Amino acid sequence: MKFISWNIDSINAAITHSSPRGEMTWAVLNEIAQRQPEVLAIQETKLKATGLTPKQEKALQEIFPDYQIYTSSSTARSGYSGTMFLTKNKPENVSYPILGAPGEMDQEGRVITLEYPNFYLVTVYTPNSGSNLDRLPDRQAWDDAFRMYVSELDQSKPVIFSGDLNVAHKEIDLKHPNSNHHSAGFTDEERQKFTELLAAGFTDTMRQEHPDQTGLYTWWAQRSKTSKINNSGWRIDYYLVSNRINNLVEKTGVIDTGARQDHAPIELEINL
């Protein structure tokens, strides 16, 4: 089975593709469609609280025919955050879990879970701690709540989850670790929570396949014109699987997005 996950940074920007960046995003989305994944997980959809507009749904159905579409939008702030699944195979159940996270995090459309006969498939868009780390305490509470959630699922059947987890786990996972120890996404606190997530029984599939590979990134800052050119990036997007199925992973990778900065899609092939 082939899975792809991507923080798209606005479904509407991709579908309207009325700017050079939007055109690049639309091109990447079409490339993903050509790869025919069993499931595509999308984060940061930025949809309205009411979900897809008819125009957006039509555009997606044209390039992803015969896919089921499931969305979770932010009701706390319309046009913010949000997640989506497009899947060829209809799941047995679809849920939009409430984790008991602080503030409005549970109302920001950050998690969708699909249940299949032999596994759960989860997509997550983890909250950012903020440029001044003002949201770091709430972020830590989110990490605890999400870890408990997927651990509970794991007691029933194996779990595969993907998304923008907003953390680079090790120094190998970003270009400039020494200058970022107090930056959102690379604080000791966030990295420790990711360590605890792995210790709860999950495998970072990309590091399992490429344990020592440097320069393996999934995100490049838009504010720096040369971040992509210099491969000055971070690896903050992941596919994690329950440890008991990590031997079934056949391939992981980052899909090349050319000159487009921000997030790149990641893929997982697993023999389920």
Catalytic residue IDs: 125, 164
For 90-117, b where at least 16 C-beta lie within 10 A, e where not — what string?
A: ebeeebebebebbeebbbbbbbbbbbbe
Element (H, E) at 206: helix 205-209
Integer Cα distance of 252 and 233 in angstroms: 18
How far, in Å, CA of 242 to CA of 272, rounded? 13
150 membership: H or E segment, kind and range:
helix 136-154
Distance CA 31, CA 99 (A): 34
Instruction: Say which amino acid occupies 57.
Output: E
Q: Are 59 and 11 in contact (CB under 8 A)?
A: no
Alpha-carbon distance 59 to 83, whole Å? 17
Using CB atoms within 10 A of its CB, is residue 146 exposed (0-12), middle (13-18) or buried (19+)?
Answer: buried
Rounded to a whole number of angstroms, the CA Rg of the chain reads: 17
Cβ–Cβ < 8 Å for 81, 104: no
